[in-house]
A and B are shown apart, each in its own frame.
Chain A
């Protein structure tokens, strides 16, 4: 028998980018709001950058791969049938604990892909609808950047951009020589003190947690405000399934607490914020007589249309020292090849994100395992030709939705509470392949123009499944979408989705600024309809 908790108005599952934003926004309603999070609070003083072996810890206990990290708070994922492996973090703040804080917005054209290019689907909302929520999310997270980017409509400028450094200047000169677009990247990084957070000190460890507190992870942005406003955040609470009554209304959620005790949390409204893999997992595990194929899945679309963003990495070796790993990973971007040009052989486009360099251990791995640094006498000389002299970029390619790219439930795999785990089936499309190849060729050109004498590539980046989108898409047509245009399930009138699963298309940019804005938009849509929410 499940232990029953006190009833709440809204239970939010997941405390990452979207769960935190939605919780904060809903707090002003004075409803009783509870967030259940399977992971724990992280302690900034334990992040790898506080210790000498920071590079090693980045690939073990703070690995971006849940299968490698394998903490009790993680759940394993069967990704054998995917060329791209999932990257995430399960704890308060979700993926924002380890994200790079690259913070681009979508473009107006990204919401109109079918109309403009005849592929995928249009979103049920547009850029203008989301714009005020982008602004609000920017203020809450704290965004740095420079106004005037010709690749974008005008947007809010809050803090000065991250430094160019030697890397940004070297690549910027290269882009100028070719006449290609570049601009300092928008970053969810405080470049000056912001909302009680200290400014960035260029630790170079953003993707293993920011000990300085400069990077906007939602545990230090939204959550302190939401908790002060009365939201309860319960950690080590892993939801196994959502229950429904005979009227197709959710009655609450079943979860396991830290001691493995199964509990029932009754709620008037259930909101999913578990990301593009975690959300379909909970829905597909919530089977019942009324929903034998999983909740909100009468049209069979839950878990389909998984989008990752295939990435290519293109790095150059230069004959002079650059910044090494110093500085935030975020530097400058180029959207020269963002919009569709069919003469390139594919539809849609991509962004180049220029990073900094690598740490001493990572340089050695790259050099030795790519055959550039030998063992023996010559080791030192070849190492010195690479260390501090590498930089380059990644190309983040728009991934189009395909129903055959899926999250399903694995037949055997379970987590530490015995809850069945996700299985990924993903194939790189022909369009993505061509876009990746094009991006590698053009990036090679830019790196050589900027002075690189040797180029290293990885395409697609095998461990680069850090953007999880599309598996509970929004739309006005109940046959072609899982939730409506403001995030409510077509099948269950008190069930909402706010995370990256909502995405109809992926755009050629990182998703988290849009995820935050969408969560605020869904929460606001609920607030505006409180009296008629379930109609």
Chain B
């Protein structure tokens, strides 16, 4: 079975809801910057599809444990209670949370909406390339006047 199949089978609709709530807690939307939440469909789908090797299993088990830690499922809690549980998670789930964080950051910061909110063009670097100013070459003048200082042999 390939990584993508394992990932989509691990995150059935219930676990997906927990994942959405957790991602939204980690990176919530921000109106001032017009930045979307990490829990929007595009990003969640990308996160699930981008987990490879044993990542779906590690993250899936972490979410299951998260749901066992309070009387209600994580996604049913209010914002403050979610944040408390997430803070606890940061103390107890180092490896699993790091695995999820890596995938999340990779997917969030390549999302069109996110890049647009940062004023960046949502495209591949090639073929258009980028403009970089030549700069003020007169800045080199003090160095030009310096005597050669490599060691003679």
A residues whose Cβ falls under 8 Å from a Cβ of B: 47, 49-56, 107-109, 111-112, 115-116, 126-127, 146, 148, 150-153, 163-166, 168-169, 172-173, 175-176, 179, 181-184, 201-205, 211-212, 323, 326-327, 338-339, 360-361, 363-365, 368-369, 375-377, 379-381, 384, 387
- Interface 1/0 per residue, B17-52 and A, CB below 8 Å: 000000001111010110100000000000000100
Are B110 and A360 interface neighbours, CB within 8 A?
Answer: yes
Q: Which residue of A lies closest to B128 (CB)?
A: A201
Contacts of A363 in B (CB 8 A): 109
Contacts of A163 in B (CB 8 A): 132-135
Q: List 9 A-B contacts (CB under 8 A).
A: A50-B127, A52-B122, A150-B149, A164-B133, A183-B140, A205-B125, A323-B132, A375-B86, A376-B26
Complex CA distance for A130 and B2, rounded to whole angstroms: 52
Are B132 and A327 interface neighbours, CB within 8 A?
Answer: yes
Contacts of A204 in B (CB 8 A): 125, 130
Query: Which of A165, A176, A365 lies in contact with B142, CB distance below 8 A?
Result: A176
Query: Which of B27, B32, B50, B139 lies in contact with A176, CB distance below 8 A?
Result: B139
Are B106 and A56 interface neighbours, CB within 8 A?
Answer: yes
Contacts of B132 in A (CB 8 A): 163, 165, 202, 323, 326-327
Complex CA distance for A179 and B132, rounded to whole angstroms: 26
Complex CA distance for A203 and B130, rounded to whole angstroms: 6
The answer to the question of B131 belonging to the interface, with a C-beta cut-off of 8 Å to chain A, is yes
Complex CA distance for A375 and B153, rounded to whole angstroms: 57
The answer to the question of B74 belonging to the interface, with a C-beta cut-off of 8 Å to chain A, is no
Are A377 and B28 interface neighbours, CB within 8 A?
Answer: yes
Are A109 and B151 interface neighbours, CB within 8 A?
Answer: yes
Are A108 and B143 interface neighbours, CB within 8 A?
Answer: no
Query: Which of B33, B108, B126, B139 has the largest number of chain A CB atoms within 10 A?
Result: B126
Min Cβ gap A86→B in Å is 22
Chain B interface residue count, Cβ-Cβ cutoff 8 angstroms: 53
Are B50 and A56 interface neighbours, CB within 8 A?
Answer: yes
Are A339 and B144 interface neighbours, CB within 8 A?
Answer: no
Contacts of A54 in B (CB 8 A): 124-125
Known: A51-B124, A109-B150, A153-B150. 13 other contacts (CB 8 A): A52-B110, A53-B106, A150-B147, A150-B150, A163-B135, A164-B137, A166-B135, A201-B127, A201-B129, A323-B132, A327-B132, A339-B149, A339-B150
Are B129 and A109 interface neighbours, CB within 8 A?
Answer: no
Q: Which residue of B lies closest to A52 (CB)?
A: B124
Complex CA distance for A440 and B149, rounded to whole angstroms: 23
Are A375 and B105 interface neighbours, CB within 8 A?
Answer: no
Are B110 and A376 interface neighbours, CB within 8 A?
Answer: no
Q: Inter-chain contact count A-B, CB under 8 Å?
A: 167
Min Cβ gap B8→A in Å is 19
Are A212 and B33 interface neighbours, CB within 8 A?
Answer: no
Complex CA distance for A384 and B101, rounded to whole angstroms: 18
- Interface 1/0 per residue, B99-115 and A, CB below 8 Å: 00110011011100011
Contacts of A327 in B (CB 8 A): 130, 132
Complex CA distance for A360 and B118, rounded to whole angstroms: 9
Contacts of B152 in A (CB 8 A): 108-109
The 3 closest A-B pairs by CB, nearest first: A201-B129, A164-B135, A109-B151
The answer to the question of B91 belonging to the interface, with a C-beta cut-off of 8 Å to chain A, is no
Given contacts A49-B124, A111-B153, A176-B142, contact A150 B135 (CB under 8 A): no
The answer to the question of B136 belonging to the interface, with a C-beta cut-off of 8 Å to chain A, is yes
Contacts of B114 in A (CB 8 A): 360
Are B153 and A109 interface neighbours, CB within 8 A?
Answer: yes
Query: Which of A169, A182, A339 lies in contact with B135, CB distance below 8 A?
Result: A169
Complex CA distance for A364 and B109, rounded to whole angstroms: 8
Are A376 and B130 interface neighbours, CB within 8 A?
Answer: no
Query: Which of B106, B130, B148 lies in contact with A150, CB distance below 8 A?
Result: B148
Complex CA distance for A201 and B149, rounded to whole angstroms: 34
Are A173 and B135 interface neighbours, CB within 8 A?
Answer: no
Min Cβ gap A98→B in Å is 16
Query: Which of B28, B86, B126 lies in contact with A47, CB distance below 8 A?
Result: B126
Query: Which of B129, B134, B148 has the largest number of chain A CB atoms within 10 A?
Result: B129
Complex CA distance for A115 and B153, rounded to whole angstroms: 9
Complex CA distance for A126 and B139, rounded to whole angstroms: 34
Q: Which residue of B lies closest to A180 (CB)?
A: B143
Contacts of B106 in A (CB 8 A): 53, 55-56, 361
Are A380 and B33 interface neighbours, CB within 8 A?
Answer: yes
Query: Which of B28, B130, B146 lies in contact with A202, CB distance below 8 A?
Result: B130
Min Cβ gap A167→B in Å is 9
Are A107 and B26 interface neighbours, CB within 8 A?
Answer: no
Complex CA distance for A201 and B129, rounded to whole angstroms: 5
Contacts of A116 in B (CB 8 A): 151, 153
Are B139 and A173 interface neighbours, CB within 8 A?
Answer: yes
Complex CA distance for A53 and B124, rounded to whole angstroms: 8
Contacts of B142 in A (CB 8 A): 176, 179
Q: Which residue of A lies closest to B120 (CB)?
A: A360
Contacts of B151 in A (CB 8 A): 107-109, 116, 339
Given contacts A107-B150, A108-B153, contact A50 B26 (CB under 8 A): no
Given contacts A204-B130, A375-B25, A376-B83, contact A387 B147 (CB under 8 A): no
Given contacts A52-B110, A204-B130, contact A172 B118 (CB under 8 A): no
Complex CA distance for A474 and B146, rounded to whole angstroms: 36
Complex CA distance for A368 and B101, rounded to whole angstroms: 9
Are A55 and B130 interface neighbours, CB within 8 A?
Answer: no
Contacts of A53 in B (CB 8 A): 106, 110
Are B126 and A49 interface neighbours, CB within 8 A?
Answer: yes
Which of B55-96 touch A at CB < 8 Å?
83, 86, 90
Contacts of A375 in B (CB 8 A): 25-27, 86, 90
Q: Which residue of A lies closest to B114 (CB)?
A: A360
Contacts of B125 in A (CB 8 A): 49, 54, 203-205
